[in-house]
Amino acid sequence: MSSSTVSLYLDPQIRDWVLFPITVVMILVGILRHYVVLLLQSQPKKIPRHAIREQRALIRSQILRATSANSPLPPTYYKVISQHLSQAFADGTYLKDGPPKGDASSSTPPNPLTDPAAMDGMMAGMKTQMVMMVPQMVIMGWINFFFQGFVLIKLPFPLTLGFKSMLQRGVETPDMDVRWVSSLSWYFLNFFGLNGLYRLILGGENSADSSRDMATPFAAAAAATPGQAQDYNKLFKAERDNLEFSEGLHEWIANDVDTRILKKYGRLPAEAK
């Protein structure tokens, strides 16, 4: 050890009354936060039958188009189904609110803020973010108030000087060995390092993951805010054009199936070749 390096001898009471309490408190707070988030989560509301019917109609049409190039349906059946869906989309049969009244092209898109289900989702996201952020702010204030300037532990492996600002926050001593860790830096090490322990105790899909706290208030608000509600009337109109286009691309998978089977097994008559 060089002469410029300061040797420190820590009181064992620092380990017992500072190091262990910070670690245990952060573990318990993370576990408590997980169960609080579970309590705040409301049961998912059932989707109305008409809304499910609206979504499934669009998916049915998309599946029909996706199999048009190698369709198991004969051309007559394919055309009947395609025309039936196209007419239903034009009439608004599958819309959950019924056929549009008046000029549908001038209707304004639905506002997600007027949807009770969307508002419930926003409130649930905000409550979850508060449960994730407030405990960490309290713990950081507690450490800064009671344990500011404490040196807790020395890492058993060498480090470069680039880690000094990260491991010795709150301790402004240029001649201290880089391996010493301050109380505030120990908090940040636990903040990012306990996720594996939480996954071991609570499982992979737990709410104690500290990486979620990295979201800024703006990102949290964006995550809690639902996107623009889909206008199925416009989607159905676009799907009608797609169905009409796919009818010209339809090809039945059983076309000339007898000839292909005979050719495969070498039984095709010479005149058919």
- On whether residue 4 sits in a domain, the answer given is no
- On whether residue 1 sits in a domain, the answer given is no
The residue written with tokens 């009181």 in the block is 11
How high is the pLDDT of residue 31? 92
CA 154 to chain centre: 38
How high is the pLDDT of residue 227? 47
Phi, psi dihedral angles at 154 (to 5 degrees): -120, 125
- On whether residue 3 sits in a domain, the answer given is no
How high is the pLDDT of residue 3? 45
How high is the pLDDT of residue 109? 57
Q: Which domain holds residue 93?
A: 12-41+49-100+111-262
Look up residue 78 and give its two tokens: 């394919």
How high is the pLDDT of residue 63? 92
Comparing CA positions, the residue from 159, 192, 189 lying closest to residue 176 is 159
Counting as low any pLDDT under 70, the low residues of the chain are 1-6, 102-121, 210-229, 270-273
CB 166 within 8 A of CB 187: no
- On whether residue 268 sits in a domain, the answer given is no
How high is the pLDDT of residue 84? 92
How high is the pLDDT of residue 255? 84
Q: Quick check: helix, strand or coil at residue 252?
A: strand
CB 169 within 8 A of CB 1: no
Cα–Cα dist 152/156, whole Å: 13
How high is the pLDDT of residue 142? 93
How high is the pLDDT of residue 110? 58
- On whether residue 257 sits in a domain, the answer given is yes
Cα–Cα dist 261/238, whole Å: 39
How high is the pLDDT of residue 250? 86
- On whether residue 269 sits in a domain, the answer given is no
How high is the pLDDT of residue 222? 47
How high is the pLDDT of residue 240? 92
Cα–Cα dist 196/22, whole Å: 17
How high is the pLDDT of residue 117? 60
- Total domain count, the chain: 1
- In total, the chain counts a number of residues equal to 273
- On whether residue 267 sits in a domain, the answer given is no
- On whether residue 182 sits in a domain, the answer given is yes
The terminus-to-terminus CA distance of the chain in angstroms comes to: 92
User: For residues 210, 211, 216 and 220, what is the CA-based torsion angle, rounded to 10 degrees?
Assistant: -90
- Alpha-carbon distances, residue 134 vs 26, 120, 163 (angstroms): 13, 21, 28
